[in-house]
Amino acid sequence: MSISPKDILNKNKNLNKRIDVEKINLDDVTIDDLEFNGKNYEKYINLYSLLDSVSACQVSDAYNSVSRRPGTFNSIKPINNQKVFGRIFTVETASDDWGTSAIAIDEADDGDILFFKVDGEDKAIWGELASTCARDNGIKATVIYGSARDLDALLYMDYPVFASNFCPNAGSALGLGSLNEPIEIEGETINPGDFFFGDENGVVVIPKELFTKTMVATLGVKIKEAKIIDDISNDKTLAQIVGLK
pLDDT-derived band at 239, boundaries 50, 70, 90:
confident
pLDDT-derived band at 5, boundaries 50, 70, 90:
low
pLDDT-derived band at 216, boundaries 50, 70, 90:
very high
Residue 220: alpha-carbon gap to chain centroid: 20
Q: What's residue 52's pLDDT?
A: 97
Q: What's residue 238's pLDDT?
A: 80
CATH of domain 77-206: 3.50.30.40
Residue 81 has pLDDT above 50, yes or no: yes
The terminus-to-terminus CA distance of the chain in angstroms comes to 63
Q: Which residue has the higher pLDDT, 6 or 220?
A: 220
Residue 135 CA to residue 84 CA, distance in Å, equals: 13
pLDDT-derived band at 11, boundaries 50, 70, 90:
low
Residue 4 has pLDDT above 80, yes or no: no
Residue 1 CA to residue 163 CA, distance in Å, equals: 34
Beta strands 161-166; 141-148: pairing state: parallel
Half-sphere exposure of 68 (CA within 13 A, CB side): 0
Q: What's residue 9's pLDDT?
A: 55
Domain ranges of the chain: 17-68+216-241, 77-206
Residue 231 has pLDDT above 70, yes or no: yes
